Amino acid sequence: MLGESVLAQFTRFVIVGVSSNGVYALLFVALASLGSFTANLAGVASSTVLANELHRRHTFHAAGRVGWFQTQWEAGGLALIGLGLSTASLAAIHILFPAAPTYVQVLVVVAVSGIFGAARFLALRGWVFRPATIASSGSTLAAR
């Protein structure tokens, strides 16, 4: 789990995802009286900032190569897609099941987040937190 293999990184990604979804759920329930869309926005924003930083430091061990702002900007952009999907799922619940309790709304948003999470993992690993390559470190393969 401490290595840099895809499996080790994915395991850490899932642990961070479960933790940040827990933060999301707590915020959503705490703010539900403000409306589910407001609670969703606050929960997604807070849990995303936390998750991005944990991914930078622990999941991909990229704190030395990717700064905080770049992480929030790029990974946060990906999170906007997730926000759109979670908002659309909440809208669908409100239309199809107008009396759905808060816990059902949370479960649906967490399920959508889990599905989107697999695609987000690949994007974070291959784009935002990609490992330094020989070419980007100033060396070229031809020099070998």
Q: Do 26 and 50 touch, CB atoms closer than 8 A?
A: no
Q: Phi and psi (nearest 5°) for 64?
A: -80, -15
Encode pLDDT of 10-58 as tens digits: 999 999 989 998 998 999 999 999 998 899 889 988 998 999 999 999 9
Tell me how far apart the alpha carbons of residues 100 and 141 are, in angstroms, rounded to a whole number. 58
Q: Which two tokens stand for residue 73?
A: 């900007």
**Cα 51 to the center of its chain, rounded Å:** 6
Q: Which two tokens stand for residue 94?
A: 């409100």
Instruction: Report the C-alpha dihedral over residues 108, 93, 122, 41, rounded to 10 degrees.
Output: -90
Encode pLDDT of 43-101 as tens digits: 988 998 999 999 999 999 999 999 999 999 988 888 888 878 988 998 999 999 999 99
Output the pLDDT for position 91: 92
Angle at 95 between CA 94 and CA 100, to 5 degrees: 40
**Cα 107 to the center of its chain, rounded Å:** 16
* CB neighbour list of residue 87: distance below 8 Å, 6 or more residues apart: 37, 40
Would the pTM of this model clear 0.85, i.e. be above it? no
